[in-house]
Amino acid sequence: MALDLSLLNPAQRDAVMHVDGPLLVIAGPGSGKTRVITWRVAWMIEQGVSPWSILAVTFTNKAAQEMRERIARVAPSDGARICTFHSFGAMFLRAEHERLGLARDFSIYDESDQLGLIKKACSELGIDKDTLAPREIRHAIGEAKNGGITPHHYLSNARSWREEKIAAAYAKYQDLLLGNNACDFDDLLLRPVAALRDNSELRERYANRYRYILVDEYQDTNAVQYELTRLLGGTHRNVCVTGDPDQSIYSWRGADITNILNFEKDFSDTRVVVLGHNYRSTKNIVSAADALVRNNVSRKSKDLFTDNEAGHNIRVVMTQNETHEGIRVAAIVKDLIEHEGIDYNDVAVFYRTNAQSRALEQGLREAGIPYVIVGSVEFYKRKEIVDVLAWLRLLINPTDEQAFGRAIANPGCGVGEASAAKIVAAARARGINLIDAVRDPDVLALLRGKPAAGARAFGEIVGKLAAMPKTPATGIVSQVISLTGYESWIMRDDPARGLERVENVQELVSDAAIFDETNRGATLADYVERVSLINDIDKYDPGKRAVSLMTLHSAKGLEFPAVFIAGVEDGSIPHMRSITGDSGNLEEERRLLYVGITRAKRFLHLTLARHREQFGQSTRNSPSRFLRELPQELLAQEDHTGGLFGVGLGGVKPAAVESLPFDDDVEPASDDDGAAAPDPWEGADTGPGLRLLRKEPLPAEPPRPEIVPGGMVNADLNVGDRVRHQMFGVGKILSFTPHAGGTRARILFTGWGEKNMALEYARLERIEPAR
DNA sequence: GCGGTGTACGAAATA
DNA sequence: CGTACACCGC
Ligand SMILES: Nc1ncnc2c1ncn2[C@@H]1O[C@H](COP(=O)(O)OP(=O)(O)OP(=O)(O)O)[C@@H](O)[C@H]1O
């Protein structure tokens, strides 16, 4: 148990043994930062610091989990809080919910919940979603929240009609969140920060509780996380932050690299430790990474070196398309396993976007290579899972209208959007929650026919579920599935993929079971909270021998003996949006590749596909510009395209490829560009020829038909008339559209937004225009 | 009003 | 290609 500090180098030891006062550890990749953090915590505990007073914040749940385990192995660390910023926020809000006017079991809204709420806000405010896209509003709100700007603030700074609308939507959105007893991800940080800032008693209490604070990946903290760190640690100043400006890859999420650059100013007398000795990778890999990142101009130069052997060259594998890329990767994996003593576990494949995993998976699968997707296209985001979770969320927080809407629609029970809205409105009006509302005879009396029967059935089920014990979580989860008949509904609703989706639902039950197992005494609320904060699922079989697939972003902090980076092409790495758009940040793309490269211990492969299917059509790609920045003598190029990529990268002719195990492939003859010739199509489409073909601006749209065709009962309605609707109240007619068997009217209702309805079904009542 | 169906549009990364 | 949503029939 005792720590053997001789296993650390002098710089690492300095950092580990620094207990009181601010500490900044700038750690190059593979320099033992993780080791330093875990040992430092262990050291503090050994020095008599109570684990209870330690707060270690990591960036991902995976990192938190790993750190918890590693610390537990070297010190009795029970009681230390090791978590992400967001779970700290959630914990804080739960503990302080009362003083913050929040229900204890508030819901945590993810992006799609947010979008739903924003749409609702727009609709209630009469904001047309074609003029102002809900996504844009969400983006604006996110940005505002990251900068700590309140709706009120936003409005007073609004410079345009557009910004005023966004301000209104922001305010409404915030209201709706409140009404639903919900927080979005940003609120999980913002609300604690506001509370700690405004309440010194609270701040002192928390600062006293957490007398030692560690923040990992500090280069990727945003303004709010920075504020939180200062609020908690500003007084006692026992704050240790670790990070590497060269590995900052989250600026798109508001991460601000100046947080780490200014740490020394924020905390005077900071002890600074720089770790530059890489213990992870071969010389060739370290040199390549170092050469690459030196191309970043806005960067403080920093040394990265290693005593490890030179190792193998970096293989640059050029393939024809993404399928071919998958096949080649699989072939090399097989070769590594057969000839290099590498195990499946030792191999990782990284890519820029989740969508790229498909072809790689296929290649591995067809070669019989086991793999796992780490942080996959999030399990908890699949429709069938979201549906079941909506039921769970509703049971925990019966004021959650988003959850209610989803639960009542899935499985479909004959209650549509409008009837659901009616129940919601009735609940609001009566000040009761949604579960009570849907079981209230007076509320049910507002509906008739199919919706009424459906709502009654729904109410019975949800009532039964609400009465059940909420511990353990698994019981309720399976009850939801069986009582709602969810699985048979899926099979009926989507026969093609029904089976797969049923399996996913089953997997959710196992996930809950694992949760119950590892968190004895935890409730359904705990499970729902965890699910809201984590988007990856506990796999059954963590020790499974398998190749890991993940995005470059989720690779941060990990290491593997053999690494593949797929799609090293312009447009992918760097991503298209960073090349074209002005918001793009090429340096961050370079850092992303840097992070990927430095995950490799011994074998590194960069693969390229000449063609890639995107949106159903083929694109042609050039090698990543970053390849030219790597020392060419460290690269071993392998062309499996028959010269489709043209001349070698960086102007160096491809070296005669060493005899490779895969040369017996039949390569289709190159049917297009020859080796040195420029692509015949490239550059041409920007020529003047095409510009002449540009379409003339479209003629202005013909005026909409103003008058109702067809002799309906309501035929005397006109655009602009005010009408009353049974459910939506008073509204104004915007337009009519003829359709088979009658007429539809687009009507703007106050408080409900725009609705499109068939006149023969909507029992509209005309109100005399007030003249 | 509900639910089925056709189509227009769209995906960078994560808590 | 896959999905979200607008549209239309009942
Ligand atoms: N003093 C040391 N002597 C030998 N090996 C070490 C030493 N310190 C760390 N290592 C090894 O170096 C590797 C990288 O360490 P670690 O994962 O802590 O790096 P890191 O700085 O967290 O990397 P990154 O910032 O890239 O995530 C690990 O395999 C670790 O065991």
What is the sign of the dihedral through the CA atoms of A129, A134, A135 and A138? Answer: positive
| pTM of the shown model | 0.82
Residue A587, domain extent: 314-376+542-659
Q: Could you tell me if residue A256 is inside a domain?
A: yes
CB-based burial, A282-308: b 16+ in 10 Å, e otherwise: bbbbbbbbbebbebbeeeeebebebeb
Q: Could you tell me if residue A300 is inside a domain?
A: no
Encoding tokens for residue A446?
Answer: 């507002």
Report how far residue A488's alpha carbon sits from residue A510's, in angstroms, rounded to the nearest whole number: 19
Backbone torsions φ then ψ of A184, nearest 5 degrees: -90, 175
Rounded alpha-carbon distances, angstroms, from residue A529 to A470, A532, A534, A752: 14, 5, 9, 31
Q: Could you tell me if residue A421 is inside a domain?
A: yes
Question: A413, A640, A389, A653: which is closest to A530 by C-alpha?
Answer: A389
Q: How far is the CA of A769 from the C1' of B14 (A)?
A: 52
Count of domains forming chain A? 5
Instruction: Please tell me whether residues A170 and A112 are part of one structural domain.
Output: yes
Determine how many CB atoms are found less than 10 A away from the CB of residue A433.
17
Residue type for position A113: D
A750 is catalytic: no
Determine how many CB atoms are found less than 10 A away from the CB of residue A645.
24
Report how far residue A142's alpha carbon sits from residue A146's, in angstroms, rounded to the nearest whole number: 6
Picking from A125, A148, A180, the residue at the C-terminal end of a domain is: A180
SS3 content of chain A, % helix, strand, coil (to 5): 45, 15, 35
pLDDT at A563: 97
Distance A31 CA to ligand 1 centre (A): 5
Instruction: Please tell me whether residues A151 and A254 are part of one structural domain.
Output: no
| Nucleotides in chain B with any atom closer than 7 Å to protein CB | 1-4, 10-15
Location of structure tokens 């500490």: A23
Instruction: Please tell me whether residues A134 and A152 are part of one structural domain.
Output: yes
Q: How confident is the model at residue A759 (pLDDT cuts 50, 70, 90)?
A: low
Which residues on adjacent β-strands are paired with residue A109?
Answer: A184
Backbone torsions φ then ψ of A439, nearest 5 degrees: -105, 5
Which nucleotide C1' is nearest A455 CA? B2
Picking from A481, A509, A534, the residue at the C-terminal end of a domain is: A534
Q: How far is C-alpha A14 from the geometric centre of its chain's CA atoms? A: 36
Instruction: Please tell me whether residues A230 and A272 are part of one structural domain.
Output: yes
Tell me what the mean pLDDT of segment A652-661 comes to.
36
CATH code, A39 = 3.40.50.300
Location of structure tokens 């293989």: A315
What is the ipTM, given to two decimal places? 0.92
Instruction: Please tell me whether residues A54 and A80 are part of one structural domain.
Output: yes
Give kind and range of the element (H or E) at residue A766.
strand A765-767
Instruction: Please tell me whether residues A408 and A507 are part of one structural domain.
Output: yes
Picking from A277, A301, A325, the residue at the C-terminal end of a domain is: A277
Instruction: Please tell me whether residues A194 and A271 are part of one structural domain.
Output: yes
Instruction: Please tell me whether residues A390 and A490 are part of one structural domain.
Output: yes
Instruction: Please tell me whether residues A65 and A208 are part of one structural domain.
Output: yes
Percent of chain A predicted with pLDDT > 70:
84
Within A674-759, residue ranges assigned H as helices are 688-692
Q: How far is the CA of A355 from the C1' of C9 (A)?
A: 37
Report how far residue A302's alpha carbon sits from residue A668's, in angstroms, rounded to the nearest whole number: 46
Distance A601 CA to ligand 1 centre (A): 11
Q: Could you tell me if residue A467 is inside a domain?
A: yes
Atom 8 of ligand 1, nearest CA residue: A32
The model's pLDDT over A134-154, given as tens digits with 9 standing for 90+, comes to: 888 888 898 888 888 889 998
Instruction: Please tell me whether residues A354 and A389 are part of one structural domain.
Output: no
Report how far residue A63's alpha carbon sits from residue A79's, in angstroms, rounded to the nearest whole number: 18
The phi-psi region of residue A49 (left if phi > 0; otherwise alpha if psi is between -120 and 50; otherwise beta) is beta
The phi-psi region of residue A665 (left if phi > 0; otherwise alpha if psi is between -120 and 50; otherwise beta) is beta
Q: How confident is the model at residue A728 (pLDDT cuts 50, 70, 90)?
A: low
Q: How far is C-alpha A16 from the geometric centre of its chain's CA atoms? A: 33
The model's pLDDT over A249-305, given as tens digits with 9 standing for 90+, comes to: 998 888 899 999 999 999 999 999 999 999 999 999 999 999 999 999 888 888 999
Instruction: Please tell me whether residues A585 and A442 are part of one structural domain.
Output: no
Q: Strand A635-639 to strand A314-321: parallel, antiparallel, or no bridges (unpaired)? A: parallel
Q: Could you tell me if residue A39 is inside a domain?
A: yes
Which nucleotide C1' is nearest A414 CA? B2
Q: How far is the CA of A740 from the C1' of C9 (A)?
A: 8
Encoding tokens for residue A466?
Answer: 């609400």
Distance A559 CA to ligand 1 centre (A): 9
Q: How confident is the model at residue A702 (pLDDT cuts 50, 70, 90)?
A: very low
